[in-house]
A and B are shown apart, each in its own frame.
Chain A
Amino acid sequence: PHSSISRIFSLDISLHHQFFVELECSVHSSFIKTLLGQIMEAKRVLVVLYLCICTGNALVTDSNFSAYSDPNSTISSTLLPSTTILTTEMSTSEMFTTEMPISSTSSLTTPTISPTPFIPTSSTLSPNPPNPVKNWVVVDEETNVTCIMVKFAASFVVPFYTIFDQIQNATLDLPGNATSSGTCNLGVMEDSHSQKISLQWIAGQSDSSNTNLPNILTFVFHKNMSSGIQATGKELVYLSDIMFEVYLDSENFPNASRVGNYSHGELVNSNLHSVAINNSYRCNSEETFELNVDEKIGDLAIIHLSHLQTEAFRMQTDDKFNFATDCPADKVITSDIVPIAVGCALAALVIVVLVAYLIGRRRARQRGYQSV
């Protein structure tokens, strides 16, 4: 048995920096050092979210926050011990400020806490039906344009190594309470050909004892200019990448050898669901995609998508799907009844017109008026 504690804090930095956080746990005296990762300089102020996990049979007694701008100089501070509260729920109330000595060599500013949109705040507990179909959108803040709309039900089959060196498969469902985020890249010229939507959820029961980390499913859409045509030149929008990050929790991944870590799967550089721009892609029948897993298992992870309708690179602020292009698998199902019925109506009308004209002419001739 173990307890896990999560702590969230964020800080503002102004330039490219790499930094990491150290947390020291009491009993096992082990600490986990996690590299935060590359911070991309997009704007002057960056908000960095960092999650730190420490597992062990004890509380975190001490934690060291260290940040450095180059490997040689390190600025460290001590987190206030009064905040070492055993928490099992991640919420924004956990945010705290740290005191940081301001050094003249670094341009790190005093970190301030800001709530991030990334962690889902647990709202009312609602049962998560497996495989519900739900709508998710990405809205660009500046222009209020809903640039991506997706609706689907998804389930995953993720292979993992157990501690007994066997490969097992875990089945996960995408629950209805997942939240969405993403990028529209509307104003960015270089990236204007790709848009991304990410759905996050936390596996397991959403009650107070859930300390799992979020699972993330990401779809990346690309747009390309179809090369020169006359009047009906249309750009094509297609799904180019499907990626997921699944947290190997103990409930869904029993006896996983890498429990507590993430498993990444991806299917990149594809050309799926290609549709003309301002049209949506609809596929009610189930589709299956295979994703490469980073664990080098040899087995592939599988994602099942059904009742899907997606639209990216939208320019509208409303939330109704545009004209849908159906997938080939659906064509068998969507009936040809309507075209056949209309065709029969057309044929019947043609016959009626001819017969009526024929009768009209016969009657006119019978009345015997003079023809010139």
Chain B
Amino acid sequence: MASQFFSRLNMAVPPIGASLGAAWTSVKSALPDSCLNSQPDEQLHFAKFGRKPNDTELSTLQSNGEEGNFQRVDSIGDDESCGGGEFGSSRHKISEWQAGWNVTNAIQGMFVVSLPYAVLHGGYWAITAMIGVAYICCYTGKILVDCLYVTNEEGQLVRVRDTYVSIAEECFGRRVGARIVNTAQLIELLMTCILYIVLCGDLMAGTFPDGAIDTRSWMMICGILLLPCSFLKNLHHVSTLSFWCTMAHVVINIMIMGYCLMQAGSWGWSQVSLRINIFTFPITLGIIVFSYTSQIFLPALEGNMKDPSKFHCMLNWSHVAAAIFKSLFGYVGFLTWQGNTADEITNNLPTQGFKGFVNFILVVKALLSYPLPYYAALDLLERSFFKGRPETTFPRMWALDGELKVWGLALRVALVVFTIVMAVSIPHFAILMGFIGSFTGTMLSFIWPCYFHLKLKGPTLDWGTVAYDCFVIFLGVLFGVIGIYISFRALVEKFQIGLPF
């Protein structure tokens, strides 16, 4: 009896199983590739020469390698990083997960609390923008990394360039172009660092409004907590900190969205506007667009990955996750408070205790986000100035045993102190950053990757890609102009009211 029953059940199950399987394969084909199912011969396919974990010059000579030729096309004269990559020695390559945490750190920024405000002013267009900009930035990241490679005669991709600056050298000329891109990158990175300190100070001062410690003192206290960043040596440590930063971000998301879900009875589903208010939509566009800028870190991250073939899927998934999180958060946050949505959602939270707790987690997130741009800025400076004569003006910071020289440490600490001093002394920093960042950010994230792609790979591209690149350049110019105009007006207004101190 039972066996008959089960056999009849077995006959019924396959149709369901088959249809489920068909549905699953169709869903899978729509999603980006999973990073988990790459086979070892993917590495062959990309032919990353000299990039396997225990690859050194000697082992290449001795091994019966897959390819016969030993030409090392990597040309950066960095005797430590055999195998390329910006961030130090090749012994410490990172996995694609760690690279993913770093990218998530860069794109899921501090302004997540302003997203419901963006939906307030932008409605469904804001949500569309969140997803669309994620897609565009993912694309520009991929083409930027693509510019690092050149197809050699055998049709294999070879990594000829290492950094953003080296691409610029090729396209803009060695003297002018490299300097411009270097400067833009440095400004963007340092301003991000300073912004994190400013935000820490503001959040802590907002949590303890009647305390004896004012904003500037809180900024300096947070800066003291950041002094150990000067001891960061490789990307592993930075990736671990980025991982914890992402965890803090997830905690914030869960707490606020949990609270919003509890208020699900009072959601205003019809309040999300379909029209664009031409005066307020640019603000929201600025919030959304400039949060997705991670392109500065991408050449270095890709260069330091153990398995760079997984770079594309890592980038895809991190951007998909970011787009989903952001749009959901903005949408749900707006539905809960509708017209009363404050420009920072923490101001809408009902009790002072809850708000204080969320502020505290945000401060932790800011502190954990700081190491990535700091490390990138440090590496940029080191690469430009501290690689030893005759290339650069200063000797190397690293002693022969791999430890920092004392004056090297002093310089790193000085950089942290510099960011603290800038945070404390510049008033209205967030708007100033919006003003300058509108220019450098659009250049680094939209315009230059597309321009380099067109210049370097132009002959090999089809018309669709060329048109798309031009479109992205146009978008970048548009966002930049709008952002500069709005920030400039806001700056003027703020300074008319008077300096806060």
Residue positions of A touching B, CB distance < 8 A = 226-236, 274, 277-278, 280, 315-318, 320-325, 328, 331, 334, 338-339, 341-343, 345-346, 349-350, 353-354, 357-358, 361, 369, 371-372
Residue of A nearest to B409 (CB): A357
Contact B286 A346 (CB under 8 A): no
Give A368 Cβ to nearest chain B Cβ, in Å.
12
22 contacting pairs across A/B (C-beta < 8 A): A230-B483, A232-B114, A233-B117, A236-B497, A278-B342, A315-B348, A318-B351, A323-B209, A328-B498, A339-B216, A339-B220, A339-B424, A341-B217, A342-B217, A349-B224, A349-B227, A350-B413, A350-B417, A357-B404, A357-B406, A371-B399, A372-B402
Cα distance A236–B497 when bound, in Å?
10
Residues of B near A230 (CB, < 8 A) are 283, 286-287, 290, 430-431, 434, 483, 486-487, 490
10 smallest A-B Cβ distances: which pairs?
Answer: A229-B490, A230-B286, A323-B209, A230-B434, A228-B486, A371-B401, A342-B217, A232-B430, A342-B220, A339-B216
Residues of A near B404 (CB, < 8 A) are 357
Give A357 Cβ to nearest chain B Cβ, in Å.
5
Which residues of B214-256 have CB atoms within 8 Å of chain A's CB atoms?
Answer: 214, 216-217, 220-221, 223-224, 227, 230
Interface presence of B352 (CB below 8 A): yes
Interface string of B337-360 (1 = CB under 8 A from A): 000101100011011100000000
Residues of A near B409 (CB, < 8 A) are 353-354, 357
Give A30 Cβ to nearest chain B Cβ, in Å.
54
Residues of B near A233 (CB, < 8 A) are 117, 283, 343, 490
Contact count A vs B, C-beta below 8 Å: 128
Give A251 Cβ to nearest chain B Cβ, in Å.
39
Cα distance A277–B340 when bound, in Å?
12
Give A224 Cβ to nearest chain B Cβ, in Å.
10
Interface presence of B212 (CB below 8 A): yes
Give B454 Cβ to nearest chain A Cβ, in Å.
29
Give B400 Cβ to nearest chain A Cβ, in Å.
5
Contact A228 B352 (CB under 8 A): no
Residues of A near B75 (CB, < 8 A) are none
Contact A323 B224 (CB under 8 A): no
Contact B283 A228 (CB under 8 A): yes
Interface string of B394-423 (1 = CB under 8 A from A): 000001111110100110010001001000
Residues of B near A234 (CB, < 8 A) are 343
Contact B497 A321 (CB under 8 A): no
Give B274 Cβ to nearest chain A Cβ, in Å.
19
Residues of A near B221 (CB, < 8 A) are 342
Which residues of B480-498 have CB atoms within 8 Å of chain A's CB atoms?
Answer: 483, 486-487, 489-490, 493, 497-498
Contact B340 A231 (CB under 8 A): no
Cα distance A345–B417 when bound, in Å?
12
Contact B283 A350 (CB under 8 A): no
Contact B213 A338 (CB under 8 A): yes
Contact A278 B347 (CB under 8 A): yes
Give A274 Cβ to nearest chain B Cβ, in Å.
6
Give B281 Cβ to nearest chain A Cβ, in Å.
9
Residues of B near A227 (CB, < 8 A) are 279, 486, 489-490, 493
Contact A315 B347 (CB under 8 A): yes
Interface presence of B282 (CB below 8 A): yes
Cα distance A63–B472 when bound, in Å?
82
Interface of B is mostly: helix
Residues of B near A316 (CB, < 8 A) are 350, 352
Give A204 Cβ to nearest chain B Cβ, in Å.
36
- B283, B352, B487 interface centre (most CB from chain A within 10 Å): B283
Contact A350 B220 (CB under 8 A): no
Give A108 Cβ to nearest chain B Cβ, in Å.
38
Contact B209 A371 (CB under 8 A): no
Contact B431 A232 (CB under 8 A): yes
Cα distance A317–B501 when bound, in Å?
31
Residues of A near B25 (CB, < 8 A) are none
Cα distance A230–B497 when bound, in Å?
18
- Contacts A320-B352, A323-B209, A338-B214 supplied; 4 other A-B pairs, CB < 8 Å: A231-B434, A233-B283, A274-B497, A372-B401
Residue of B nearest to A318 (CB): B352
- A231's contact among B342, B430, B489, by CB below 8 Å, is which? B430
Contact A361 B406 (CB under 8 A): yes
Cα distance A281–B210 when bound, in Å?
12
Residues of B near A318 (CB, < 8 A) are 351-352
Contact A371 B400 (CB under 8 A): yes
Give B361 Cβ to nearest chain A Cβ, in Å.
18
Contact A229 B486 (CB under 8 A): yes
Contact A226 B490 (CB under 8 A): yes
Contact B403 A354 (CB under 8 A): no
Residue of B nearest to A235 (CB): B343
Contact B406 A358 (CB under 8 A): yes
Contact A228 B227 (CB under 8 A): no
Residues of A near B489 (CB, < 8 A) are 227-229
Known: A339-B214, A342-B220, A353-B227. A324 touches B209 (CB 8 A): yes
Residue of B nearest to A227 (CB): B489
Give A281 Cβ to nearest chain B Cβ, in Å.
12
Give B280 Cβ to nearest chain A Cβ, in Å.
7
Known: A321-B209, A338-B213, A342-B220. A354 touches B406 (CB 8 A): yes
Interface presence of B206 (CB below 8 A): yes
Interface string of B421-458 (1 = CB under 8 A from A): 00010000011001000000000000000000000000
Contact A315 B486 (CB under 8 A): no
Give B164 Cβ to nearest chain A Cβ, in Å.
24
Interface presence of B94 (CB below 8 A): no
Contact B220 A343 (CB under 8 A): yes
Cα distance A349–B489 when bound, in Å?
40
Contact A231 B286 (CB under 8 A): yes
Contact B434 A345 (CB under 8 A): no
Cα distance A354–B411 when bound, in Å?
10
Cα distance A320–B208 when bound, in Å?
12
Which residues of B265-289 have CB atoms within 8 Å of chain A's CB atoms?
Answer: 279-280, 282-283, 286-287
Contact A231 B287 (CB under 8 A): yes
Residue of A nearest to B279 (CB): A228
Residues of A near B111 (CB, < 8 A) are 231
Cα distance A345–B220 when bound, in Å?
9
- A228, A277, A350 interface centre (most CB from chain B within 10 Å): A228
Give B69 Cβ to nearest chain A Cβ, in Å.
30
Residue of A nearest to B113 (CB): A231
Give A69 Cβ to nearest chain B Cβ, in Å.
38
Interface presence of B305 (CB below 8 A): no
Interface presence of B191 (CB below 8 A): no
Cα distance A371–B401 when bound, in Å?
5
Residues of B near A328 (CB, < 8 A) are 498
Interface string of B81-96 (1 = CB under 8 A from A): 0000000000000000
Residues of B near A231 (CB, < 8 A) are 111, 114, 286-287, 430, 434
Cα distance A293–B352 when bound, in Å?
42
Interface presence of B106 (CB below 8 A): no
Cα distance A350–B229 when bound, in Å?
12
Cα distance A134–B34 when bound, in Å?
64
Give A336 Cβ to nearest chain B Cβ, in Å.
9
Cα distance A302–B145 when bound, in Å?
69
Residue of A nearest to B413 (CB): A350
Cα distance A278–B202 when bound, in Å?
13
Residue of A nearest to B348 (CB): A315
